[in-house]
Structure 1
Amino acid sequence: MGTKPRWMVLWVAILAGPACDVEDSGSRDTAREAQDDAGGETVAEDGSAPDVPHAEDGTVPDVPSGDTPADVPAELSVDGPVDGPADVPEDVPPLDPTCGVERGNTSRAELAPQEPADILGDQPTPRYVHLSWLSNPATSMAFTWATRDSSAGSMTSSTIVEVCEDAAMTTGCLRVDNIRRGPGIGAVWHLPYSSAWKTIHKAEVCGLRPSTTYYYRVGGSAGGRDVFSTPAPFTTAPPAGTTPRFTFVAMGDSRGAPDRLSRTLATAIATEHPAFVSFGGDFIEDGTRQSEWDAVFEQCEEAMRSTPILPVPGNHEKAAVGFYAQFLTPGNQNYYALTYGNAVVVSLNDCWSGAGLMGTYGVACGGAMIQPGSARDEQAGFMDAVFGAAVDQPWRFVVHHRPIYSETSDLTHGGTFNSDLKSAWAPVFDRNRVTMVFNGHDHYYQRSVPIRGDRAAAGPLDGVNYVVTAGAGATLYDVRTTSMVAATRSAIHYTAVTIEGPTLHFAAVELNRDTGAVIGTIDTLDITR
């Protein structure tokens, strides 16, 4: 049968004080098996498994703030070894105790590689660099990149992130060059659908200052040789509950058109300068094909290098390991929440049964989602908990793939599929006063009238505004309108939300299908509290 290709996933946790003072350090690995529904354990350095509660599906629940042990040795260096916690300036917020702690992913300790952590293979150049968040967005950033290997003996294991305060990468820099590896930290991952040896490197930097622009590069080092990506900036979020002006972009459904996705994403970022991009699923046609993921990151790397991407899975991701391996997302990687200033964004998985990783279209997005006691109810409870605690976040958003309200003329995408979600989640949106719900799946733009209790509401603050934004590159559908539709158009597009204190401005922007140039504004909505 020949030799199976291999994909290595490396996890590095970097905990630093702002101005790059080291507070503590650690490392974790993330790896998932395509059909492993049994879950796994985080394994300590001595090989023992800590007492971590697991849900019935094998996932590890989120750890409440303050409950995570900080048992991490000081093995990182800033111009030399650090024997203990560094002095932290008075204006530095306390470290998020969950930052740098890998949580919710299956760790395959028995597959831990034996290679040292400082190897550069024959193709060590970082590729497909992109950003996301695992922890507090005001004080952290997560990084993912890939390296290629021609064989098992040429893998690149060295995993380094440098973060500095200036573009020249000379001021206040943290260089992490002594990465620990071991059971539960580094793990070999085999992807039978991958056509090339590949190493995925993952890292999280913690203890940064809010509302601050840093510069970073990722790569590796061995034998006095450094191989790094081109430096790029990123900016941390404002403190939770504050009200500075910011914009985020929502879009979805490129599905096999990475060139159009690249143009759409590049135009949206250049035009809106968003703090982050929420992507509503269906990046690719088949989530089990690594070649499709590679094409996305090959085309979109430049756009993704400085703007965090917050993905939710669609039906074409197929709940495959390929989706989970490409991104760093919080919690169990199926649903999570992001607090940004005075807004909170909840990302859900409506293609997940809660029974583990599913690899086929029918199982991943079939009837299992609507059964009582399933992931539907689990995610409803998660929303209630998040929104209930968001006392300083009046602007509330939800992102998931399949639309609850959609008037597509493509009947294969309507019917009971959407009705099941409506009965499961619409009451949750109503009682938590969600401002907007963003969906994909139906390839066009549509905004509903405000809806509450399945009826039109008086104004945009009296109901939920449902937006279908599925025009990032996939083949478009025809549209139709009813009394529940405020605006609709079959077009390549993105949507943008700008928040400044008590005001919100929403816009849907149409782009040229071939060039990505802005054609004009499809729709706008202004809300004032």
Structure 2
Amino acid sequence: MKLNHLIVPGAAALLFIGCNQTPPQPNYNTTRRVSDQISNPVNNPNGQVSPGSPQQGGIIAEIVNYQEPTPYSYPAGYNDPTLAPNKHLLVWTTNPAQEATISWSLPDLIANTQHNVYLSEQQRNGSQLNLYEMKVPAQESGMDQACNSQLPIFQSRVTGLKPNTTYFYVIESNGQQSQEMHFVTAPANSTTSFKLFSGGDSRSDPGQRVVMNRQISSLLSQDSSYLALIHGGDFIESGSNCEQWSTWLDNHQSTMTSKGRVLPVVATFGNHESGGEAQFTALFGDPLGGEKFYFNTKIGSLDLIILNSEISVEGTQRQWLTTTMNSLAKQATFIIAGYHRPAWPAEKSPGSTTSWIPIFEQNQVDLVFESDGHVLKQTCPIFNNACNPERGIVYVGEGGLGVAQRGASQSGQWYFEGGYAIGQHHIQSLSFQMNSATPQIEYKVYYDNTSHYPLTLRKRNR
């Protein structure tokens, strides 16, 4: 069945998947061979509105009823909020099936007090810390030094975790303890289904940032199969501004559910982080050292490559990417790459990241995350500078987690035939479906309490 996907551009847009209507040209057919098929979402010919309605055979995308998270319920031992742990953050880097970095700040540091994280596979409600099977001491992350004693951040680097397991944890710091929170480790095998969020550019509007965070929290509350957020960079306006980082951390608490579910962050270095390398390292780590901020990680069936568009894309980074890709392509189920500055922009000019395109194409990457443009976009499947439904790679982005959106000035480019480019805050959702005969990624975008632009990527034959 041929699906014509219609869009009404604008902030209040609704998506209709018209089964019987024919949209105006150009209409790019993006059907791949059965073993490597993509169902393309939207035809947006230069912003024109295509006919179609639910009454004409369309299907309205699912509606998500967002709800404000309820206030936290703290344990009886939580006595003094002015001293208690706050600004909670959980980070994944190279081994999310077995490791996590748990961070927090303190409003006022008391000397000679203990700083620990207690973890258990069972819900303990924080009442008796001796019942938690794991106790991991914390150390200062380096943020206090980078911020001239303005923002102390403590971290516990937790190792030896079990894959695909829920861990409940409590932070003890300053003689106080946090509420009990929990997270789920990544699966280690390639047969477990799961979901991820993705998005970038949360930098310059804290109010809108909180709106997007609350939507993430609501989606996570409704669907516990979401495991983490892949952030595409530009967390804040100025990477060396510790007050902005403090505000971002406060705003980030809105992603936590009312039941204490914490969403791990996989971080990408953006251009607005430049100059704040020390702060970025203190919060999110630097797995390969030397302020490279590129690495690869595995989340179940996904091999995820995080690149750094703010240093040279040639030399050491390109060689690392080539070697890593060549190794992964031989055994990977899905490969996704992510970085900040777009190679196929909907706004601005192409970045130096175009240098990586041949490596992506040679190794048949499944999807690429881009940010920086402050628009919502999806390209046609691109291969060798042309739309190619057989071997092409779809590029999505470009940053809608809070920053003011732009007008998608490049929306008329050839690579948006069969795709779309509009100014719209958004959250990207990826569902890795491993239960079907052919494993697949189901991608869609959330905004205005609605899911839009469904896209299915079936496992490639590499």
TM-score normalised by structure 2 residue count: 0.71
Q: How far apart in 1 are the matches of 2:215 and 2:248?
A: 16
Give the alignment partner of residue 455 of structure 1, picking from 373, 376, 386: 386
Give the alignment partner of residue 522 of structure 1, picking from 445, 452, 459: 452
Q: How far apart in 2 are the matches of 1:421 and 1:449?
A: 18
Gaps of 5+ in 2: 1-79
Query: Which residue does 1:263 correspond to in 2?
Result: 211
Shift of residue 172, structure 1, vs aligned partner: 5.9
CA RMSD of aligned residues (A): 2.6
Query: Which residue does 1:399 correspond to in 2?
Result: 338
Shift of residue 489, structure 1, vs aligned partner: 2.0
Q: How does 1:96-107 map to 2 (within 5 A)?
A: none
Query: Which residue does 1:481 correspond to in 2?
Result: 412
| Mapped contact 2:90–2:265 kept (Cα < 8 A) | yes
Give the alignment partner of residue 138 of structure 1, picking from 87, 90, 97: 97
Shift of residue 452, structure 1, vs aligned partner: 1.2
Gaps of 5+ in 1: 1-120, 353-368, 370-374, 512-517
Q: How far apart in 1 are the matches of 2:136 and 2:457?
A: 49
Q: How does 1:69-84 map to 2 (within 5 A)?
A: none
| Mapped contact 1:319–1:351 kept (Cα < 8 A) | no
| Mapped contact 1:497–1:506 kept (Cα < 8 A) | yes
Secondary structure of 2:106's counterpart equals: strand
Shift of residue 267, structure 1, vs aligned partner: 1.2
| Mapped contact 1:487–1:523 kept (Cα < 8 A) | no
Give the alignment partner of residue 321 of structure 2, picking from 363, 366, 383: 383
| Mapped contact 2:361–2:392 kept (Cα < 8 A) | yes
Secondary structure of 2:214's counterpart equals: helix
Q: How far apart in 1 are the matches of 2:392 and 2:284?
A: 33
Secondary structure of 1:190's counterpart equals: helix
Classify 1:157/1:290 alpha carbon distance in 2 versus 1 (closer, same or farther; 3 Å): farther
Give the alignment partner of residue 213 of structure 1, picking from 166, 179, 185: 166
Shift of residue 140, structure 1, vs aligned partner: 2.0
Query: Which residue does 1:202 correspond to in 2?
Result: 155
Classify 1:219/1:451 alpha carbon distance in 2 versus 1 (closer, same or farther; 3 Å): same
Shift of residue 500, structure 1, vs aligned partner: 1.2
RCO higher in structure (CA 8 A, sep ≥6):
2
Shift of residue 247, structure 1, vs aligned partner: 0.9
Secondary structure of 2:451's counterpart equals: strand
Tell me the matched-pair count. Answer: 357
Shift of residue 389, structure 1, vs aligned partner: 3.1
Query: Which residue does 2:352 correspond to in 1?
Result: 420
Q: How far apart in 2 are the matches of 1:427 and 1:219?
A: 49
Classify 1:284/1:157 alpha carbon distance in 2 versus 1 (closer, same or farther; 3 Å): farther
Shift of residue 524, structure 1, vs aligned partner: 1.8
Q: Deviations over 1:280-332 (max 9, x none)?
A: 11111111111111111112224156111111111111241222222235322
| Mapped contact 2:136–2:157 kept (Cα < 8 A) | no
Q: How does 1:236-275 map to 2 (within 5 A)?
A: 236-240=185-189, 242-271=190-219, 273=223, 274-275=226-227
Q: Deviations over 1:207-264 (max 9, x none)?
A: 122111110112326xxxx311111111111114x22111111101122212322221
Deviates more, 1:270-279 or 1:486-495: 270-279
Query: Which residue does 2:269 correspond to in 1?
Result: 313
Query: Which residue does 1:510 correspond to in 2?
Result: 447
| Mapped contact 1:288–1:322 kept (Cα < 8 A) | yes
Q: How far apart in 2 are the matches of 1:129 and 1:247?
A: 22
Q: How far apart in 2 are the matches of 1:437 and 1:257?
A: 26
| 1:325 alignment partner AA | A
Query: Which residue does 1:111 correspond to in 2?
Result: none
Q: How far apart in 2 are the matches of 1:475 and 1:286?
A: 16
| Mapped contact 1:342–1:392 kept (Cα < 8 A) | no
| Mapped contact 1:144–1:328 kept (Cα < 8 A) | no
| Mapped contact 2:96–2:299 kept (Cα < 8 A) | yes
Secondary structure of 2:432's counterpart equals: strand
| 2:406 alignment partner AA | Y
Shift of residue 483, structure 1, vs aligned partner: 2.8
Give the alignment partner of residue 494 of structure 1, picking from 427, 430, 441: 427
| Mapped contact 1:251–1:472 kept (Cα < 8 A) | yes
Classify 1:269/1:386 alpha carbon distance in 2 versus 1 (closer, same or farther; 3 Å): farther
